[in-house]
């Protein structure tokens, strides 16, 4: 950004400015099955920011509502959602390569055709690959809470991020968050209740949480937490303008 006086000036000139990442990339070790799944399935199910703005009709070969999930982990719940809703397109973003491999392996085993994946930073994917007003739903389930105060700036749910994703949702589209960390749920609620262009869908009022919708599977991690008495908070905000 050396030639620009501010980020706003750079953005006006059409220059994308990379920010502090909201994750720590963990390469991990690929199993043989995960490596094979990436090699075999990436040509048909892999997406790259080098492709530029995506036309979902071209990507999926049809016109359908598109759901995007940020940070799908090992991908089991994403594959389950894609299998349960064949009428929707699903795109997943994950930086952990073994997770990408596991997701593609499960998708192959289940013969899932309505799923595509990125192995890339979500902020850059949104900026470079997702057209405005194109998403039906955006999902963010159990992101890293960065619970230490000095790390709060790394939490992905921040005002700037929310406004960036707002432009990617169609009017009427929803941003669905879930966390098992109560302080992060409160942080999410604080950011979203102040976010321009969004409305809480909770029947409990503008600062209310929602019951887990049927389309979000309960993960093993979540079940284990519930047995230990941990809570889970779901927030669903709709883009209204």
221-233 residue pLDDT tens = 788 778 888 899 9
Whether residue 203 has pLDDT greater than 80: yes
pLDDT of residue 219: 82
Whether residue 152 has pLDDT greater than 90: no
Please enumerate, by residue number, every residue annotated as part of a binding site.
69, 94, 121, 144, 148, 180, 219-222
Catalytic residue ranges:
144
**117: helix, coil or strand?**
strand
Measured CA to CA, the distance from residue 138 to residue 198 in angstroms comes to: 13
Angle at the Cα of 230 (from 103 to 140), degrees rounded to 5?
Answer: 40
pLDDT of residue 149: 73
Q: Residue 139 burial by CB count (10 A; 0-12/13-18/19+): exposed, middle or buried?
A: buried
**61: helix, coil or strand?**
coil
Residues of the chain with pLDDT > 90, as a percent, come to 77
Q: Which one, of 118, 148, 141, lies nearest residue 233 by Cα?
A: 141
Whether residue 150 has pLDDT greater than 90: no
Strand pairing partners for 237? Answer: 175, 200
Pairing of strands 89-93, 115-118: parallel
Please enumerate, by residue number, every residue annotated as part of a binding site for S-adenosyl-L-methionine.
69, 94, 121, 144
Measured CA to CA, the distance from residue 89 to residue 116 in angstroms comes to: 8
Please enumerate, by residue number, every residue annotated as part of a binding site for substrate.
148, 180, 219-222
Whether residue 66 has pLDDT greater than 50: yes
Helices marked H in 130-179:
159-168
Domains of the chain: 53-239 (3.40.50.150)
Measured CA to CA, the distance from residue 8 to residue 226 in angstroms comes to: 44
- pLDDT digits over 105-114, tens only? 999 999 999 9
Measured CA to CA, the distance from residue 137 to residue 239 in angstroms comes to: 10
Q: Which one, of 73, 159, 84, lies nearest residue 115 by Cα?
A: 84
- Residue 233 belongs to what H/E stretch? strand 233-239
Q: Which one, of 207, 237, 217, 227, lies nearest residue 90 by Cα?
A: 217
Q: Which one, of 99, 78, 100, 87, lies nearest residue 60 by Cα?
A: 87
* Model-wide pTM > 0.85: yes
């Amino acid at each position: 950004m050396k030639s620009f006086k501010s980020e706003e000036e750079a953005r006006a000139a059409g220059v994308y400015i990379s920010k502090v990442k909201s994750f720590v990339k963990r390469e991990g070790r690929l199993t043989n099955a995960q490596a094979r799944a990436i090699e075999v399935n990436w040509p048909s199910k892999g997406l790259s920011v080098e492709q530029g703005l995506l036309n979902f009709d071209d990507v999926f070969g049809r016109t359908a509502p598109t759901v995007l999930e940020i940070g799908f982990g090992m991908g089991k719940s994403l594959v389950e959602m894609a299998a349960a809703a064949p009428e929707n397109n699903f795109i997943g973003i994950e930086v952990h390569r073994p997770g990408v491999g596991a997701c593609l392996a499960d998708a192959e085993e289940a013969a899932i055709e309505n799923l595509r994946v990125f192995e890339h930073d979500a902020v850059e994917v949104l900026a470079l690959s997702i057209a405005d007003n194109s998403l039906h739903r955006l999902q963010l389930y159990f992101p890293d809470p960065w619970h230490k105060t000095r790390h709060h700036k790394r939490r992905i749910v921040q005002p700037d991020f929310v406004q960036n994703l707002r432009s990617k949702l169609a009017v009427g589209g929803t941003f669905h968050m879930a966390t098992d960390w109560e302080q992060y749920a409160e942080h999410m609620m604080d950011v979203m209740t102040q976010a321009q262009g969004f409305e809480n869908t909770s029947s409990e009022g503008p600062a209310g949480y929602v019951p887990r919708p049927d389309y979000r599977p309960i993960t093993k991690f979540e079940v284990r937490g519930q047995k230990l008495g941990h809570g889970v908070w779901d927030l669903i905000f709709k883009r209204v303008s």
